[in-house]
Amino acid sequence: MKFTVREATKEDMPQVLELINELAIFEKEPEAVIIDVEDLKRDGFCENPLFTCFVAEVEGKIQGMALLYFRYSTWKGKTVHLEDLIVREKYRGKGLGSALYSKVIAFAEEEGVKRTEWVVLDWNKNAVDFYERSGATVFRDWWTVQMDEGGMKKFLSKSAGN
Protein backbone atom coordinates (compact mmCIF):
# COMPACT_ATOMS: atom_id res chain seq x y z
CA MET A 1 0.00 0.00 0.00
CA LYS A 2 1.31 3.40 -0.95
CA PHE A 3 1.02 6.20 1.61
CA THR A 4 2.77 9.41 2.58
CA VAL A 5 3.63 10.84 5.98
CA ARG A 6 3.84 14.60 6.23
CA GLU A 7 3.39 17.46 8.65
CA ALA A 8 -0.26 18.38 9.08
CA THR A 9 -1.73 21.64 7.87
CA LYS A 10 -4.53 23.73 9.29
CA GLU A 11 -6.81 22.30 6.60
CA ASP A 12 -6.18 18.78 7.91
CA MET A 13 -7.67 19.47 11.32
CA PRO A 14 -11.22 18.20 10.57
CA GLN A 15 -9.76 14.79 9.66
CA VAL A 16 -7.37 14.93 12.63
CA LEU A 17 -10.34 15.54 14.93
CA GLU A 18 -12.10 12.52 13.39
CA LEU A 19 -9.07 10.42 14.33
CA ILE A 20 -8.98 11.88 17.85
CA ASN A 21 -12.62 10.88 18.28
CA GLU A 22 -11.89 7.42 16.89
CA LEU A 23 -9.08 7.05 19.42
CA ALA A 24 -11.39 8.10 22.26
CA ILE A 25 -13.83 5.37 21.22
CA PHE A 26 -10.98 2.82 21.03
CA GLU A 27 -9.84 3.86 24.52
CA LYS A 28 -13.42 3.43 25.79
CA GLU A 29 -13.92 7.15 26.50
CA PRO A 30 -16.12 8.33 23.60
CA GLU A 31 -17.44 11.35 25.52
CA ALA A 32 -14.02 12.59 26.67
CA VAL A 33 -13.17 14.76 23.64
CA ILE A 34 -14.30 18.35 24.19
CA ILE A 35 -12.08 20.17 21.70
CA ASP A 36 -13.23 21.12 18.23
CA VAL A 37 -11.62 21.90 14.88
CA GLU A 38 -11.27 25.58 15.75
CA ASP A 39 -9.33 24.68 18.92
CA LEU A 40 -6.94 22.55 16.87
CA LYS A 41 -6.46 25.26 14.26
CA ARG A 42 -5.92 27.98 16.85
CA ASP A 43 -3.58 25.96 19.07
CA GLY A 44 -1.54 24.23 16.40
CA PHE A 45 -1.08 27.01 13.89
CA CYS A 46 -0.58 30.17 15.94
CA GLU A 47 2.61 32.20 16.46
CA ASN A 48 3.78 29.77 19.17
CA PRO A 49 2.09 26.46 18.27
CA LEU A 50 1.21 24.21 21.19
CA PHE A 51 1.67 21.03 19.17
CA THR A 52 3.08 19.48 16.03
CA CYS A 53 1.07 16.94 14.09
CA PHE A 54 2.08 14.43 11.43
CA VAL A 55 -0.44 12.65 9.24
CA ALA A 56 -0.38 9.49 7.15
CA GLU A 57 -2.30 9.88 3.93
CA VAL A 58 -3.63 7.18 1.60
CA GLU A 59 -5.08 8.30 -1.72
CA GLY A 60 -5.60 11.86 -0.49
CA LYS A 61 -7.37 10.90 2.77
CA ILE A 62 -5.78 11.04 6.21
CA GLN A 63 -5.81 7.56 7.74
CA GLY A 64 -3.46 8.12 10.67
CA MET A 65 -1.91 10.85 12.77
CA ALA A 66 0.60 11.51 15.52
CA LEU A 67 0.29 14.62 17.70
CA LEU A 68 3.18 15.71 19.92
CA TYR A 69 4.49 18.67 21.86
CA PHE A 70 7.55 19.76 23.81
CA ARG A 71 7.88 19.32 27.56
CA TYR A 72 10.68 20.11 29.94
CA SER A 73 12.20 17.52 32.22
CA THR A 74 14.10 18.65 35.28
CA TRP A 75 16.34 15.62 34.70
CA LYS A 76 16.74 15.68 30.91
CA GLY A 77 15.83 19.16 29.68
CA LYS A 78 13.77 19.53 26.52
CA THR A 79 11.73 16.41 25.71
CA VAL A 80 9.01 15.45 23.28
CA HIS A 81 5.68 14.10 24.50
CA LEU A 82 3.74 12.00 22.01
CA GLU A 83 0.15 12.69 23.00
CA ASP A 84 -1.60 10.46 20.48
CA LEU A 85 -0.78 8.13 17.63
CA ILE A 86 -3.78 6.62 15.87
CA VAL A 87 -4.37 4.77 12.63
CA ARG A 88 -7.88 4.05 11.41
CA GLU A 89 -8.78 0.44 12.19
CA LYS A 90 -9.04 -0.56 8.52
CA TYR A 91 -5.45 0.60 7.91
CA ARG A 92 -3.76 -0.96 10.95
CA GLY A 93 -1.02 -3.47 10.23
CA LYS A 94 -0.14 -1.81 6.92
CA GLY A 95 2.85 0.25 8.08
CA LEU A 96 1.19 3.61 8.69
CA GLY A 97 1.62 3.46 12.46
CA SER A 98 5.27 2.45 12.18
CA ALA A 99 5.91 5.25 9.70
CA LEU A 100 4.26 7.84 11.97
CA TYR A 101 6.20 6.50 14.97
CA SER A 102 9.46 6.74 13.00
CA LYS A 103 8.60 10.30 11.98
CA VAL A 104 8.04 11.28 15.62
CA ILE A 105 11.34 9.74 16.75
CA ALA A 106 13.22 11.38 13.84
CA PHE A 107 11.60 14.74 14.67
CA ALA A 108 12.66 14.39 18.31
CA GLU A 109 16.22 13.58 17.28
CA GLU A 110 16.31 16.54 14.88
CA GLU A 111 15.14 18.77 17.73
CA GLY A 112 17.99 17.48 19.91
CA VAL A 113 15.78 16.27 22.73
CA LYS A 114 17.06 13.81 25.32
CA ARG A 115 13.85 11.80 25.64
CA THR A 116 10.60 11.05 23.86
CA GLU A 117 7.78 9.86 26.08
CA TRP A 118 4.15 8.84 25.90
CA VAL A 119 1.50 6.89 27.76
CA VAL A 120 0.03 3.56 26.68
CA LEU A 121 -2.94 1.78 28.20
CA ASP A 122 -1.96 -1.45 29.95
CA TRP A 123 -4.60 -3.43 28.06
CA ASN A 124 -3.34 -2.30 24.64
CA LYS A 125 -1.04 -5.31 24.26
CA ASN A 126 -0.34 -4.72 20.56
CA ALA A 127 0.94 -1.21 21.27
CA VAL A 128 2.93 -2.27 24.35
CA ASP A 129 4.57 -5.10 22.40
CA PHE A 130 5.35 -2.78 19.47
CA TYR A 131 6.94 -0.16 21.72
CA GLU A 132 9.05 -2.73 23.55
CA ARG A 133 10.20 -4.26 20.24
CA SER A 134 11.21 -0.78 19.07
CA GLY A 135 13.54 -0.37 22.05
CA ALA A 136 11.30 1.84 24.21
CA THR A 137 11.01 1.18 27.93
CA VAL A 138 7.48 0.65 29.19
CA PHE A 139 7.46 1.63 32.86
CA ARG A 140 5.06 -0.41 34.93
CA ASP A 141 5.77 1.30 38.24
CA TRP A 142 4.78 4.89 37.43
CA TRP A 143 1.16 5.99 37.66
CA THR A 144 -0.33 8.72 35.50
CA VAL A 145 -1.99 11.45 37.57
CA GLN A 146 -4.50 13.94 36.17
CA MET A 147 -6.87 16.53 37.55
CA ASP A 148 -9.75 17.65 35.33
CA GLU A 149 -11.28 21.12 35.24
CA GLY A 150 -13.88 20.28 37.89
CA GLY A 151 -11.22 18.85 40.17
CA MET A 152 -9.05 21.94 39.77
CA LYS A 153 -11.95 24.25 40.66
CA LYS A 154 -12.86 22.13 43.68
CA PHE A 155 -9.25 22.02 44.89
CA LEU A 156 -8.78 25.76 44.46
CA SER A 157 -12.04 26.60 46.24
CA LYS A 158 -11.01 24.40 49.18
CA SER A 159 -7.45 25.73 49.33
CA ALA A 160 -8.69 29.36 49.16
CA GLY A 161 -10.42 28.80 52.49
CA ASN A 162 -7.13 27.91 54.25
* Burial class of residue 16, CB neighbours in 10 A (0-12, 13-18, 19+): buried
* Annotation says 91 is catalytic: no
* Choice among 72, 91, 101, 131 that is catalytic: 131
| 34 burial type by CB count under 10 A (0-12 exposed, 13-18 middle, 19+ buried) | exposed
Q: How many helices (H) and strands (E) does the chain have?
A: 5, 5
Q: How far is CA 157 from the centre of its chain?
A: 31
| Continuous H helices in the chain | 13-26, 37-44, 96-110, 125-134, 149-160
Handedness of CA 127, 133, 134, 137 (dihedral sign): positive
Active site residues: 131
